[in-house]
Amino acid sequence: MDKPLAARLTDYCGRTGTYRPEEDQLPAVLEPQLGAYLTALGIGEVTIWDEFFRESLKVSTDAFAADHPAHWLESKCSTVAAPGFLLAWDFDDVAGLLALTNDLHNKCDPAEFFEGFCLGPNDYCDIFNPVEMFERLPALGH
């Protein structure tokens, strides 16, 4: 890492109120949108986890509001979880994967809050890798 450049970028972000560049985690700028979605689902509290599932923190849905600071753990926040709800980022990904029960999906469609597309039961979590990259395991039930 170019430490002088990183320091200048951090200084610039602090002076201008700009969010730092991020990857492998929920961008801080999306926290209010996530909070609004969790509220629409009726979820009042979530657990956020670091990328190694060593550190966690319970936070209220209200804590994702725009006037609250971004959530940081010792290691980056890679998972947001509640009963029936899981939002996670894989190593070196810039897109998150959302898993939720049918009951939660029927309460509020994620497409009302986020850009994305649905995966079916025969899709894989590595949806962004080319199919020919490696042999996939057989789908469940086949």
Q: Are 93 and 26 in contact (CB under 8 A)?
A: no
Using pLDDT thresholds of 50, 70 and 90, give the confidence band for residue 77: confident
The average confidence (pLDDT) of the chain is 80
Amino acid at 45: E
Q: Are 78 and 89 in contact (CB under 8 A)?
A: yes
Using pLDDT thresholds of 50, 70 and 90, give the confidence band for residue 37: very high
Bigger pLDDT: 43 vs 18: 43
Residues across the chain? 142
For residue 72, how far is the Cα from the chain centroid? 13
What is the pTM assigned to this prediction? Answer: 0.71
pLDDT tens digit sequence for 87-110: 988 766 667 889 999 999 999 999
